[in-house]
Structure 1
Amino acid sequence: MSKSSSDGETPTDRNPGRKSDVRKAAQARVPGRGQTRKAAPGARDGAADGAAPTSLRTKSVSLKKTRGKTTAQQRWLARQLNDPYVQAAQKQGWRSRAAFKLIELDDRFHLIKPGQRVLDLGAAPGGWTQVAVKRGAARVVGVDLLPVEPVAGAEIVEGDFTDPDLPARLIEMLGGKPNVVLSDMAPNTTGHAPTDHLRIIGLAESALDFAIEVLADGGSFVAKVFQGGSEKQMLEPMKKLFESVRHAKPPASRKDSSELYVVATGFRPNRGA
């Protein structure tokens, strides 16, 4: 089971085509692709820090039928090309539209503060890691089973976060316990919604166990889940360890997606004793 993050959001939202098709098409339409504008650490506005893509005037793109592509693949590719978040990510230099989900969550909950230490679980392709750096974190480490292209201002570890030897190594790399643990991880999906729901809840609970082990006092935890019933049960034990625990659906999360995020702030490990 893959523990890497995915910009697809539900079993029906997965990429039936190839991401390279989107990159090629977008590259032809967006000049200056891959150029990231510099922003002051901790800045909360400006294109480099995530201008609201809903304010952009997006031009609808018609996609001619591509040889060898199924109808589902054509539909997915067309949606990607006409998605304002995809277009904004290309223009602003983010590695995926998922970057805007963290930007919106951070704008709402003020998770990442300048000078903090941030750990990003399931970091591939690196969008959330980029955001943590741009938002002013002093130390950022991304972890994934998959290779991740280097992110300026961050360190990347290719490995399994459930490795019992990894927590101590990550804390050493960060120079102390992380103030924020992020998880945009999603398992490989089966297409059977109840099964996929239980699998992502299990993955989120593993990320929570990891966060409880490494988080600094007062820290925050964010994890992706799918709606399906069990996500509510996950909150109850968390309320004993965090001052605030809630679900949130950022605007960048597609409306037809069952995706939610668990957002917990004010970690107090002794509260659960």
Structure 2
Amino acid sequence: MNIVVLVKYVPDATADRAFEADNTVDRVNVPGLLSELDEYAVEQSLQIKEKRADEEIIVKALTVGPAEAEQAVRKALQMGADEGFHVVDDAIAGSDAVATSLVLAEAIKKIGPVDLVVGGLASTDAGLSVVPAMLAERLGLPQVTQAAVVETQGDQVRIKRDGDAATEVIGGTLPLVLSVTDQSGEARYPSFKGIMAAKKKPLETWSLADLGIDAASVGAGASWTAVDTITARPAKTAGEIVKDEDGSGAKALAEFLASKKFI
């Protein structure tokens, strides 16, 4: 079984994130890392491999991004993935989810016969949650998304998905596209052995030309969506302190909550 797990290099949420002049995210001068939500996708891919140890299962990590995005693949390899693939090309900069899904789909086709494509719930920078569905459409595969629990047996995949009012159980037959949530299981930390072993694992780099993609079909010019304006987050202000010296604290608190429409 071949599993391709999608890993994205995103700006560190704890760093001072910035944007380029064209309103795209600065992914070069801002510290980045493997998207936390994609770590759960790596974890579930590795768990499937471990639970089916009697089968030959290869986990392949795939990313699209600038040169620094290699770090996301390296992290997946350190966690236990077997092979890495990185699509890097200046023309990709500014691509939205639609254009990115095109690059991912062509990369997956080039990787070869794939039984399972696994992604996170969303990326921690854009948070759109649409790439798995777009990939399924481009690859002509069924999809089971937002899995909190993943079970596999043979060519069958069954997931549990938590909704607002109920938990759904959905099944599918391989090959398919799967996305998992942060409730699917704690992602492992790379061990020292894993970090050292990752240095010897193959990591292949491709350009758009290697995938047969016309540069005009990706990038900001080909994207269906764009960021028009950016507004900086307001600076933190001091909170309001309510003193309950005369027994009126509860009333003041209720009035405050009502003014903010919390009650």
TM range (shorter): 0.3 to 0.5
Higher normalized strand content (fraction of residues)? 2
Compute the TM-score of the two structures, normalised by the length of structure 2: 0.33
Q: TM-score, normalised by structure 1?
A: 0.32
Higher helix share: 1
Query: Whose RCO is larger (CA < 8 A, sep 6+)?
Result: 2
